[in-house]
C-alpha cells in the first residue's frame, strides 16, 4: 500500500472536481453541478483562492476511502467529498479572520482576508458553506445514490459542522484562549472543532455505500482516534514543523497562548500519545479485514506527515 501515491491520485481528483464545480458560467460535464452564471467575479475569485490554494484534501479522501470499503467508486461520491472540503475551507477562512485567530498565513499563502478584505472573506466563507449543501443536493441525483441516503448525509454534515460540532468547538477554543484548559477540556474542544468533521467524512462515505450501524460504529471509533492523533500531531508540528511544509506560521499556538498537547505532555509525551491513537485507530478497523488497508495507512500517515 503506497499511501502517498493514493493520496496524490485522489487529492488531484478532488482538486479537479473543486475547480470544475466553481468554474464560472460553464455547463458541467456531469450535468449535476451548479452552473454559476450570477456570481460576482470578486466573490468567485476569493472563494476559489482559498478553495484551490493547496491543502491535503484529507477529508474528501476519507469520504472516498470510506465509500471504497463498500466498493463504491470514488467518482460516485465526489460531490460529497468536495462538499467536505468546502466546509473545511470555509472554516479556515472564518477562523483566520481578525476577530477570530487573526492569522496571516494559510496553506503557505496570505489568508483570504489579507488579500480580499474582511467583508469578502466573511462572505466567501458563507458562500462555500452554502455551496457544500448545494453539492450534497446534487449527490442525490447521482446514479446509484438514493435521495434518502443523500439527505441523511445532509443531516450528518450539518450536525458535524454546526453548533454541536465544528462551530461549537471554535467558540470554546476562543473562550479558552489565554487560560489554561485541562487535558480533558482540550480534548473536548478538538473533538468538536476537528474531530466532528473527520467523523462526518467517514460516515458520509460509508452511508452512501449502504453501511450498516455496526459498520458506522467501527468508523466512529476509528474517527475518534484518527482525529485525536491528527490534533496532537498538529500541536507537535506547530513546534518542530517546517513552515514551508505546514503552510502555516510556526509557533502560532504559543502566540495565541493556546493550550496544546505539547504543553500538557511535552514533545516526547505528545508524540507517544499520537502513536498510541494511531494504533487504536488501526485496531478499530479489524472487522473490515483487508478492506481496511487504505484507512489503516491513512491513520499512519497522520503522524508520518510533515505538514
Residue window 186-205: x/- pattern of binding to its own copies, with contact defined by CB under 8 A? ------x-------------
Cα-based torsion angle of the residue sequence 57, 58, 59, 62 in order, rounded to the nearest 10 degrees: 120
What DSSP element (H or E) covers 106?
A: strand 105-106
Sole binder of its own copies in the list 8, 19, 75, 155 (CB under 8 A): 155
Sole binder of its own copies in the list 172, 275, 280, 300 (CB under 8 A): 172
Torsional sign, CA 151, 92, 239, 109: positive
Per CB under 8 A, does 163 bind its own copies? Answer: yes
Contacts within 8 Å (CB) and 24+ apart, 277-285: 277/225, 277/226, 277/228, 277/229, 277/232, 278/225, 278/226, 278/229, 278/302, 278/303, 280/221, 280/225, 281/221, 281/222, 281/225, 281/226, 281/229, 284/218, 284/219, 284/221, 284/222, 284/225, 285/218, 285/222
CB of 200 to its own copies, least distance (A): 12
Quick one: which segment of 39-47, 62-70, 255-263, 295-303 binds its own copies (CB under 8 A)? 39-47
Per CB under 8 A, does 3 bind its own copies? Answer: no
Residue 137 or 239: the one with the smaller Cβ distance to its own copies is 137
Q: Which of residues 112-141 bind its own copies (CB under 8 A)?
A: 117-120, 122-123, 125-127, 129-131, 133-134, 136-138, 140
Per CB under 8 A, does 23 bind its own copies? Answer: no
CB of 269 to its own copies, least distance (A): 28
Per CB under 8 A, does 52 bind its own copies? Answer: no
b/e sequence 73-87, b meaning 16+ C-beta within 10 Å: ebebbbbbbbbbbbb
Sole binder of its own copies in the list 1, 52, 99, 286 (CB under 8 A): 99
Per CB under 8 A, does 40 bind its own copies? Answer: yes
Q: Which of residues 231-270 bind its own copies (CB under 8 A)?
A: none
Residue 84 or 262: the one with the smaller Cβ distance to its own copies is 84
Q: What is the Cα–Cα distance from 137 to 147, expressed in whole angstroms?
A: 8
DSSP character at residue 37: S
CB 48 within 8 A of CB 109: no
The C-alpha cell at 270 is: 505528545
Contacting residues toward its own copies, per CB under 8 A: 34, 36-40, 42-44, 47, 90, 94, 97, 99-100, 117-120, 122-123, 125-127, 129-131, 133-134, 136-138, 140, 146-148, 150-152, 154-155, 157-159, 161-165, 167-168, 170-172, 174-175, 192
Amino acid at each position: 500500500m503506497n499511501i502517498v501515491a493514493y493520496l496524490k491520485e485522489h487529492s488531484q481528483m478532488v482538486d479537479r472536481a473543486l475547480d470544475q464545480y466553481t468554474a464560472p458560467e460553464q455547463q458541467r460535464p456531469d450535468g449535476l453541478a451548479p452552473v454559476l452564471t450570477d456570481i460576482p467575479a470578486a466573490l468567485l475569485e476569493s472563494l476559489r483562492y482559498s478553495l484551490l490554494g493547496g491543502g491535503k484534501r484529507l477529508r474528501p479522501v476519507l469520504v472516498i476511502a470510506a465509500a471504497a470499503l463498500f466498493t463504491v467508486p470514488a467518482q460516485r461520491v465526489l460531490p460529497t467529498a468536495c462538499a467536505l472540503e468546502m466546509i473545511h475551507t470555509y472554516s479556515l477562512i472564518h477562523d483566520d479572520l481578525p476577530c477570530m485567530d487573526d492569522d496571516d498565513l494559510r496553506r503557505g499563502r496570505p489568508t483570504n482576508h489579507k488579500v480580499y478584505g474582511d467583508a469578502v472573506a466573511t462572505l466567501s466563507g458563507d458562500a462555500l458553506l452554502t455551496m457544500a449543501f448545494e453539492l450534497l443536493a446534487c449527490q442525490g441525483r447521482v446514479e446509484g445514490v438514493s435521495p434518502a441516503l443523500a439527505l441523511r448525509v445532509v443531516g450528518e454534515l450539518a450536525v458535524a459542522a454546526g453548533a454541536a460540532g465544528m462551530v461549537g468547538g471554535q467558540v470554546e477554543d476562543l473562550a479558552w484562549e489565554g487560560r489554561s484548559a485541562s487535558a480533558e477540556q482540550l480534548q473536548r474542544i478538538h473533538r468538536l472543532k476537528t474531530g466532528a468533521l473527520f467523523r462526518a467524512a467517514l460516515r458520509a462515505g460509508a452511508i452512501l455505500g449502504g453501511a450498516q450501524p455496526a459498520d458506522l460504529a467501527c468508523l466512529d471509533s476509528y474517527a475518534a482516534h484518527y482525529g485525536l492523533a491528527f490534533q496532537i500531531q498538529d500541536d507537535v508540528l506547530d513546534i518542530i514543523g517546517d513552515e514551508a511544509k505546514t503552510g502555516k506560521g510556526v509557533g502560532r499556538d504559543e502566540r495565541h497562548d493556546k493550550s496544546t498537547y505539547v504543553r500538557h505532555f511535552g514533545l516526547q509525551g505528545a508524540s507517544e500519545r499520537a502513536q498510541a491513537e494511531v494504533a487504536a485507530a488501526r485496531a478499530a478497523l479489524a472487522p473490515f479485514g483487508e478492506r481496511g488497508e487504505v484507512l489503516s495507512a491513512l491513520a499512519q500517515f497522520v503522524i508520518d506527515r510533515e505538514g
